[in-house]
Amino acid sequence: MAVKVCVFDAYGTLFDVSAAARDCASEPEWKQLDGKWQKLAFDWRMKQLQYTWLRAVTGDYSDFWTVTQNSLDWALASSGLAGDPGLRERLLALYWQLGAYPEVPTMLGELKAGNVKTAILSNGSHGMLRGAVRSAGVEAELDAILSVESVGVFKPHRTVYALVEAQFGTDPQEVLFVSSNGWDAAAGAGFGFRSVWVNRAGEPMDRLPWKPDHELADLSSVPNLARPS
């Protein structure tokens, strides 16, 4: 089957989740982040993922903005940076302005030129995703923004991946699903998507029952995978 839709995870796939801590550290008033922003960014992201998994397992859904704040609070405490409301406020504000990875605009444009529909499928709330898309300047290149808010459970629950079929009326094999999270790319493959893992960090493959069909270092060659063979 030909690829009709290319669906992307958002955070860490299209948008650089380290940018908030990195950009904050570059601002003169936040010198306390010197030498600490890398750990802060890593912990923030890892706790963000862990809290979504725990909420998915327990059925205790909360919107992604709440999860993002909870995970930042843990990361600040772990880095000895808790207790500064100004720093916390600035980091959260920057999270709404995450930049896209450099190859994203061109890559999305090539997909659109090839008549492939494009969408985001994310744990993020609708408001957060719209903010990130506007900040990155890629609104015109996306046909849909799909959020787990619609089903009230986080990835990798199968009902999240089913949102794509409901939106586009496609068979899973007509969907190219792209994620920088190995577990997400694997779960997408398990759902039946043609799955791509964008392994920017060069990590080993997750030991799960399913494996993505492709592994890439960045998004540049995604349009090649969507073209008819």
Q: Which residues are catalytic?
A: 9
* C-alpha of 88 from chain center: 21
- CB-based contact 178:219 (threshold 8 Å): yes
The residues, ordered by sequence, that sit 6+ positions from 69 with a Cβ below 8 Å of its Cβ are: 92
SS3 at position 200: coil
Distances in Å between the Cα of 218 and the Cα atoms of 3, 91, 113, 115, 138 are 19, 26, 20, 22, 17
For residue 203, which phi and psi values (nearest 5 degrees)?
-80, 160
In whole angstroms, what is the distance from residue 219 CA to residue 227 CA? 15
